[in-house]
Amino acid sequence: MAIRYMRPYDEILDEMCKALEDIPDCYETFEMSSEEWGELTPAERDVCIRTLADDLFYVLGSDPHTEAGSGRLEYDKDRAVIKIAASPQLVHLVSLK
């Protein structure tokens, strides 16, 4: 299974990055400590988050559910969205159309 999308891929990744930044411990996906994450420059963190968004997009094409730190991601094929739960109170919807 692959994710079908109609929007420009870069726009989808931009939205995924913004959502992933709201996950307070997304750096754990890289097996980094909060201290290691804090030592990175903002530009280095941006590259890590962008890479993570790209990787998770393709993971969701094989498995419609995955995690990033304490956050959860879900590909909803019927609604053509990726749901990113940064916390129980904050869920981002990334439209694929």
**From first to last of its 97 residues, what are the pLDDT tens digits of the chain?**
789 999 999 999 999 999 999 999 999 999 999 999 999 999 999 999 999 999 999 999 999 999 999 999 999 999 999 999 999 999 999 999 9
Q: What's the helix, strand, coil split of the chain in %, to 5?
A: 45, 25, 30
Sketch the domain layout of the chain as residue ranges: 9-95
> What distance in Å separates the CA atoms of residue 31 and residue 39, rounded to the nearest whole number?
14
The predicted pLDDT at position 42 comes to 97
Q: Global pTM?
A: 0.93
